[in-house]
Structure 1
């Protein structure tokens, strides 16, 4: 009888540990599935795009990557419908990630507050977002120009919509959709889930940043490096503050300046 006591006493601990491991495994698979329908999928196609560019013949610096293109420039109403649909579906993974955080092993009583997407510090978040924009934007532009100069990046044509009354608002909408998608999924969702899976914070930030860099490889190696650094900086900031709105705001502003700035200056500034 005495020999059976340790087994009986240990059984609940083993069961608890087994259930904990199963929950972590399920959460890990959940992140794989979410990435498979959004940015992870984009990373795969981005690698394929880079391979195509590298094997096409001309050096990367002699190639152009065109973003925000008109689909039917001769029919503005249909082009607007295309742009709206593209950007709405682009950000479709955002409500999915938020739904999962709210309904599957919630990170706290208020998941919005847990990832920093609540409205408690609106003014401070906005000002911080503007500051991050300046801190990331100027060095990022310098890195892009350097990468293009040494031949490891394509020329980025960031804004190519036909000139219509809705052109600038659509650039802003696209920028916000990008900012919400990348920061909610890559920072708020993934870093939360991977923490719940028992990952070391540094490892979670590094993997998230690598994925972020990889889905920008279609631009070239400069796009990869710049977004890798951005991912590391954003992940570090979020781990310290748990505030996501400043990162969404900064990302949105960076894209607005890129899209609108390029469209306005492409025929004026030669180095664009």
Structure 2
């Protein structure tokens, strides 16, 4: 047998289907990924910008809208008590219930986007949602504490509403103006829970944490958060402005004492569930309730 020549010895043996036999170029080696940049330190400037962006995307817009609505109400020829503010209204004609339902559900989901943003921002830093007590670690105590707080604030808020309405300081509030469908009550419950999560997570848990980090005193932070809460309820009138101011101060005190926002979410959700669902069955059937 003849010995292979030097050229033959230098040529690699190609197997069928290999890049050498098919003439296809060899795949390039994957490029190493660049390391992610380190998270920027939360300087006061970054914190102030973050808080401003979160509020502008959530409840600050509602506060501006409420102020504009209030100016429109006090400049109208009718008194405040003669005007009506609907909290949850239909989004389509009664003959198109599925369109209305789709819009209601979409509104609830997208209204909670700022809460998802807040949780994301907390996890990007050294905190988590548990830092503000927005978790399920203590369901029993959170439910009991929230229910007790709801009874206290709910009863007090009803008295403030009735008295201020009699004095002409508050508009007639119609919690639900939904058309009657099989899904009306579930949507009202979802709207109530959405309000509880959105307002308490942002205005109490998140805002108090960030203002603490900015060096604000607990009293100053509580007053600022409570004023924001009162302002985005101003469309309901002067009486409800002060009622929500007191509610905000009580909720901030409770949060400072227990360090958890979940009882506040429970309390706010229960208050709104009773108001929304109760209005369906009570308004128009009892004499002492405005709007009947």
- Give the TM-score taking structure 2 as reference length: 0.83
Residue in structure 1 matching 2:177, options 151, 160, 176: 160
Residue in structure 1 matching 2:283, options 259, 263, 266: 266
1:123-272 correspondence to structure 2 within 5 Å: 123-272=140-289
Q: CA deviation at 1:195?
A: 0.7
Q: CA deviation at 1:189?
A: 0.6
Q: CA deviation at 1:121?
A: 1.2
Q: CA deviation at 1:186?
A: 0.4
SS of alignment partner, residue 88 of structure 2: coil
Q: CA deviation at 1:118?
A: 2.2
Residue in structure 1 matching 2:102, options 81, 84, 90: 81
Relative contact order, CA 8 A, sep 6+: which one is greater?
A: 1
State the alpha-carbon separation in 1 of the partners of residues 283 and 135 from structure 2. Answer: 38
- Cα deviation digits, residues 22-74 of structure 1 (max 9, x gap): 80121012111111111011101100000001111111111111121112122
Match of 1:58 in 2: 78
State the alpha-carbon separation in 1 of the partners of residues 134 and 113 from structure 2. Answer: 17
State the alpha-carbon separation in 2 of the partners of residues 160 and 59 from structure 1. Answer: 21
Q: CA deviation at 1:269?
A: 1.3
Q: CA deviation at 1:119?
A: 2.0
SS of alignment partner, residue 199 of structure 2: helix
- Give the TM-score taking structure 1 as reference length: 0.89
- The answer to whether residue 57 in structure 2 is matched with residue 40 in structure 1 is no
More moved, 209-218 vs 118-127? 118-127
Match of 1:97 in 2: 118
SS of alignment partner, residue 68 of structure 1: strand
Q: Structure 1: which 4+ aligned runs deviate by more than 2 Å?
A: none
SS of alignment partner, residue 204 of structure 1: helix
Match of 2:18 in 1: none
* 1:154–1:219 CA contact under 8 A, matched in 2: yes
State the alpha-carbon separation in 2 of the partners of residues 106 and 218 from structure 1. Answer: 38
* 1:25–1:197 CA contact under 8 A, matched in 2: no
Q: Mark the runs of 5 or more structure 1 residues left unpaired by the alignment.
A: 1-18
* 1:112–1:118 CA contact under 8 A, matched in 2: yes
* 1:61–1:153 CA contact under 8 A, matched in 2: yes
SS of alignment partner, residue 158 of structure 1: strand
Q: CA deviation at 1:98?
A: 1.0
SS of alignment partner, residue 114 of structure 1: helix
SS of alignment partner, residue 173 of structure 2: strand
Question: In the comparison of the two structures, how many residue pairs are matched?
Answer: 249
SS of alignment partner, residue 176 of structure 1: helix
State the alpha-carbon separation in 2 of the partners of residues 47 and 122 from structure 1. Answer: 37
